[in-house]
Each structure stands twice: as C-alpha cells, then as structure tokens.
A and B are shown apart, each in its own frame.
Chain A
Amino acid sequence: MALAPARPAVLVTGTASDSHTWNLVLLQLFLEELGHPVSNLGACVTHELLVDGCRRHRPEVVVIGSVNGHGYRDGLAAVTLLRAEPDLAGMRVVVGGKLGVDGVRSLQDRGRLLAAGCDAVFDDGSLTALREFLAALPARVVTA
C-alpha cells in the first residue's frame, strides 16, 4: 500500500453560447498531463447540464473556458448559478479565455466575476497562470 498525492479533479466546460472546442480539448490534455483527473463537458453547456455535470463528477475545480466574445457575460451567469447551489459550495470555479468581443480585458467585468464567487479569472488566456493556481491548491493524500 502506497500513499500518493492526488491532484484535484477538474471539470472542464464551455459556456452556454460558445461552440468552440479546441480550447477545451487542449485544456483537458494540459490538465491531464499535470496529473489532474479531468472530465470534459464540451461546448454549448446549458445551465442545467453544468449543474448536473458538477453533481455527477463532483470536481474540486471547475474550469470554464470561453473564446467567443461572450465569456464575461456567460461566465458570470455560470458562476452565479453554481454559487447558488449549496451542495456545490466547496468547488473552486475559475473562468478563462478570450472573454470580450473587443479583445480588451475589462477590469469591471473581471471584478463582477470575482464578486459573484469566481475564484480566479484568466482573461489573459494564460495557462501558466492556471497551472500556478492549481499548483497552489492543497493536494489530497489518498491510498493508492
């Protein structure tokens, strides 16, 4: 019997109006290579599917990726929704990608996301920052 640190389970998801998937495919591979167990909900994830997916997979971290320009708006709706579910309260929720239509980061929209209960916003699209965020999370020790 060995003790192995387990990286937190991650749920990768697109937003309700975003049909892009390359970002989600890459996120999954990237996170798996870091040792995280990953479930991927794919594109155009409705609110119902998102909540359902969180209950089914019980992730420790939800990574919401968006590149279609509606990310601030759709991300805010998703975070607000998840934070209204008491049984999902322990999950970390982060949003990242290209979140606005004009290619400019919005401090105001970022602030709204954080105020709504988002744990981190990667609106510079940085995977390095995501990796650092995840590395700072406490690893669980599980029996292998």
Chain B
Amino acid sequence: MTAPAPSLGRYVAAAAAAGGLVVQPRMGFGDPRHMRAGLVGTRDAAAVTVGTVTIDSYTRVGDPAGARRALAEGGALNGYPIVSHPAAVTRSLLRGVHGPGFPVQVRHGSSHPEAIIRALTAVGLDATEGGPVSYCLPYGRTPLRASVDAWARGCELLAELAPPPRVPHLETFGGCLLGQLCPPGLLVAVSLLEALFFVEHGIREVSLSYAQQTSPEQDREAVAALRRLAAEFLPPDVHRHIVLYTYMGVFPSSAAGADLLLRASARLAVRSGAQRLIVKTPAEAHRIPTVAENVRALESAAAAAEAEVRSPADRLEPDSEVYAQARTFVEAVLELGTGTGTGIGEALRSAFARGYLDVPYCLHPDNAGRSRSFIDDRGRLRWSRTGAMPVAPDLAPAGTTADLTSSQLLAALHTMARRFDLAAEAAAPTGTAGSARAAHRTRSGAPTRPTAPPRPTPSPRPIAPTRPTTRTSGPGAGSPAGVRPPLPGVFTPSRTTDDGSRDA
C-alpha cells in the first residue's frame, strides 16, 4: 500500500510556489488497462501533471447497467465506468501510479454524484469536481432541486468517506457553464457560489474553475475577479486555487490552429495567475483522443506556460466590468438566502426560478431561458438580453436583433476556431502540418513563442447575418466541431463538454 497522496490542492500549491503551472488532461477510457496507460502517460509527461479519470456518460446519467451492458458487448465507452468495475479492478489500475507525487481527480458531470463519490473514495481517491448547478443545467434534465439535494449529500459523503488525514478536494465546474458563449460575469458568479455551497456542506479544500472564452483581456479580468471574490466570500481557512480550462467550445480544425489555441490558454493561465490548467487536445473535436495525443497536449501547454514571463503587472486588475457583474449576481443570490435559514443551495434554486440567474441558450426546464449573449467587436462576450437578471443588457451589434439566426449562432460558436485557424495559416502559409511541429518544437528548443498571440478580428459586425440555407463554404458553414471539415453540415455543433467524450 502506498503512502497517502498529498491533497490535490496542496500539490498544486507546491507547484505554484516553485513557479510551475500544473496541467491536467480530461481523459477517460472504459478498459482498465487502457485507463492505467493513460494515467502512466500523464504522470510521465514532461510537465507537472495531475491525473484524470473521466467517467463514461452512462454512469454519469445514473445508468451503470447500461455501462456494464456496453462493456459486456465489447462496445467502446467514452469514459471509465468507475461504479461498474469492481473496486479491486480500479485499485489495481491505480496501484503504483496514484501516489504522493501524482494526485488523480475523478471527473464525471453527474447531477447525482453519490455513487461515483462512494466508488472513488473506496479506492483511495479524494478529488473530484462538479457542482449543483454546473452539473445539472447544461447537461441534462434532472430538476435543479434534486441536483442541489444530491450534491449536498455528495459533498457530505466525500467529507465523511475521505476522513483525515485524507483531504477531500472539490472543484467547481461553474466557471465552464455551456462551454462557450456565456458571459464571464455569470461564469465567475456560479463558480464562486458553488464553492460556497461545497464549503457549506463540509468541504475545506476547493478549486474554482473558469473556462477560457473569446477575449484574453476579459478572461484575465474574470480570473482576477474569481480570485478576489473567493478571498472576499470564502472562509479564510478554506484552501483554494484557480483552475483554468482551455477553450471548451468549437476547436480549430487545423492541428496548428488547435495547438496555437492550447498554447494561448497556457499563457493566459500564467498571466492571470491560475495555478492549474485543464487542457484540450486537437483530436477532441473529432473523437476521443488517444493517450499519446493527451500527452502531446500536456507537454505543449507546459512548454508554453514555461516560456511565458509572469509579469506582476498582469496580476493587478482594477475593479473590472466582470468583477462588478459577478459580484452583482453573487449578492443577488446570497440575499435570497438571507434570513431564510436555508442554505446556498436553496438560494441558487430560487435564483434560477426567479430568473436572477439565467444561462443563455440553456434548454433545461428550470432555466428561465430569457437571456441571450453575443460577441462584441472587441471579442468580448456580452449580454443582448438579460431577462430578469440584475444586470443591464449591452447593445446588440448594429443591424442585428437580440436573437441570433442559426448561421449567426454558428458563426459565434466558431469564433475561436476561425481566429486560430487563420492565425495558424498566417504563420505557415505553405501548410499547417509543419507549423504544428514548429509550435511543438519549443519544448526542447528555444522557449520562444512560435507566433504572436492571435487577436480578435476587428469587424463592425462580428456576427454577420447570412442566409442559413445557402451557405456551403466559408466561415460558419463548416461542421462546427471541425469534424470532417469539407462537409457543409452542422448537425453536430461540437463536443463542448466534459462528458467522457467531451468535455462538456
């Protein structure tokens, strides 16, 4: 039996103290040998890493029998069915890999996390992620009230089943809602509120997530706002760090463009002061990535982070628009709980019922569905409609209505893919394959940026209205996931989440 691993939070803090960014994949395989190979590959990568066991989507939706059937029939699963495999099998896949120098986090996406938490604590793991809102609204149809109750029990179970000296760790997924097109003020607020919820239910070590969006400037404001709100609202003895997610929306279709985006997220992590980065692989838009592809992404991100000079000035953000908006949301929610004798969970439920929190483009029955967002001409995410939320809408781009057409929405979903594919093309006019290798080369070579960081394309009307039925080529017409780019279809906008296949 190996000695207990230090907690995920302490491991990340130690790396940060030494000046390193921790990088982590979003990896999961149904077969235990394959899962073990993934953890070994992650541990042995040329980077400071945390291992990931991402759970399959049958287990996530509470159908472990479905996962067992798929395994029995030899079908490939999109993640590791931790509830269906016997604990002994999971223990043996972790043996000698998970240890003092290599924490492993279980990622799942379930609104009913209890069975997963029992299974992970039974095999000696202590770290997982999610939240009552972020693992409910975008990903399914569990009533929010049921998710809040299940997550309260889940937090308490995690605290109970990983008693001292073990340190249970929970990461909020609230900063990643939707994957893309949700304005950062709401992401930061939900991330913070979920951390408060975890603490209320007995968790003393948390990480707060935020997913890279469409404007580096707005993203730095968001991470600074999240850090500041955490300091203002979390009890001082709650150990915490910030985890950044590489862009979770539609990824560039070229390998070089995808690598540029990945590296931009690593630089953002360093400049904004996030201590851990969840990477995305270029392959993810097309299929479940291999272990080797995950390792390449980890190493590419780590090299970009190492090459980025941390400037103290970048850490000092004044009161930003994102901070002000996030604080408004947080206060509106907390106020709903004041004097009621109920907790954050009930306040969150009530806030959604009243539309104080309203996730744009979210189909969940408990979401008001009256808010809409757009990307402005500087690349910043803004509100075109806010419904009953306590913030004012920004103006929609000239000549457009508040509601996007399908082709406008598609163009918005493709903003980053287009920007980084173009940047990669500009960097390597003779072909993208060479530039992917060139970008990767800096790991062993000179620590310089292969290209200037791509910037938002200035345009008076970033989301151009087009006729949806006539587009067969050009921006906004390709398959949104970057799958089989020559095809005009958009049946499948993206794997934008974290659900084993996904990530969200």
Point out residues on A near B: beta carbons under 8 Å: 16-27, 29-30, 33-34, 40, 42-45, 49, 65, 67-70, 73, 96-98, 100-104, 122, 124-131
Interchain CA distance A19-B405 in the complex, whole Å: 23
Nearest A-chain residue to B468, judged by Cβ: A33
Cross-chain contact A19 with B497 (CB below 8 angstroms): yes
Cross-chain contact B489 with A129 (CB below 8 angstroms): yes
Knowing A44-B141, A102-B76, A102-B288, say if A16 contacts B63 (CB, 8 Å): yes
Cross-chain contact B499 with A19 (CB below 8 angstroms): yes
Interchain CA distance A17-B81 in the complex, whole Å: 13
Cross-chain contact B489 with A122 (CB below 8 angstroms): yes
Cross-chain contact A126 with B487 (CB below 8 angstroms): yes
Interchain CA distance A62-B43 in the complex, whole Å: 45
Cross-chain contact B179 with A125 (CB below 8 angstroms): no
* B480 CB, min distance to chain A CBs, angstroms: 7
Nearest B-chain residue to A122, judged by Cβ: B491
Interchain CA distance A124-B178 in the complex, whole Å: 24
- B75: A residues at CB distance < 8 A: 73
Cross-chain contact B492 with A40 (CB below 8 angstroms): no
Nearest A-chain residue to B249, judged by Cβ: A22
- A102: B residues at CB distance < 8 A: 76, 287-288
Knowing A29-B405, A101-B501, A124-B484, say if A65 contacts B109 (CB, 8 Å): no
Interchain CA distance A129-B7 in the complex, whole Å: 51
- A33: B residues at CB distance < 8 A: 405-406, 468-469
- B76: A residues at CB distance < 8 A: 69, 101-102
B343 within 8 A of A: no
Cross-chain contact A127 with B490 (CB below 8 angstroms): yes
Interchain CA distance A125-B60 in the complex, whole Å: 25
B330 within 8 A of A: no
* A24 CB, min distance to chain B CBs, angstroms: 7
Nearest B-chain residue to A96, judged by Cβ: B491
- Interface stretch (choices B151-159, B359-367, B442-450): B359-367
Cross-chain contact B479 with A22 (CB below 8 angstroms): no
- B501: A residues at CB distance < 8 A: 67-70, 101
Report which residue of B57, B60, B495 has the largest number of chain A beta carbons within 10 angstroms of its beta carbon: B57
* B437 CB, min distance to chain A CBs, angstroms: 22
B413 within 8 A of A: yes
Shortest 10 CB-CB distances between A and B: which pairs?
A126-B489, A103-B287, A19-B139, A29-B406, A44-B140, A42-B363, A22-B493, A125-B492, A30-B406, A69-B501
Cross-chain contact A19 with B504 (CB below 8 angstroms): yes
Cross-chain contact A26 with B409 (CB below 8 angstroms): yes
Q: Say which residue of A34, A40, A43, A98 sits within 8 Å of B481 (CB atoms).
A: A98
Knowing A21-B138, A97-B492, A98-B492, say if A42 contacts B364 (CB, 8 Å): yes
- A125: B residues at CB distance < 8 A: 479, 481, 483-484, 487, 489-492
* A66 CB, min distance to chain B CBs, angstroms: 8
Nearest B-chain residue to A104, judged by Cβ: B287
Cross-chain contact A26 with B488 (CB below 8 angstroms): no
Interchain CA distance A130-B491 in the complex, whole Å: 8
Cross-chain contact A22 with B288 (CB below 8 angstroms): no
- A18: B residues at CB distance < 8 A: 57, 499
Q: Say which residue of A22, A69, A101 sits within 8 Å of B496 (CB atoms).
A: A22
Q: Which of B445-472 contact A (CB under 8 A)?
A: 468-469, 472
- A131: B residues at CB distance < 8 A: 469
Cross-chain contact B491 with A20 (CB below 8 angstroms): no
Nearest B-chain residue to A22, judged by Cβ: B493
Question: What would 29 A/B residue contacts be, using CB atoms closer than 8 Å?
Answer: A17-B61, A19-B138, A19-B497, A20-B499, A22-B178, A22-B496, A23-B492, A23-B493, A25-B409, A26-B410, A26-B413, A30-B406, A34-B469, A43-B139, A43-B140, A43-B141, A67-B492, A70-B70, A96-B492, A101-B77, A101-B287, A101-B288, A102-B287, A104-B287, A125-B487, A125-B492, A127-B489, A128-B472, A131-B469
* A85 CB, min distance to chain B CBs, angstroms: 21
B246 within 8 A of A: no
Interchain CA distance A22-B361 in the complex, whole Å: 8
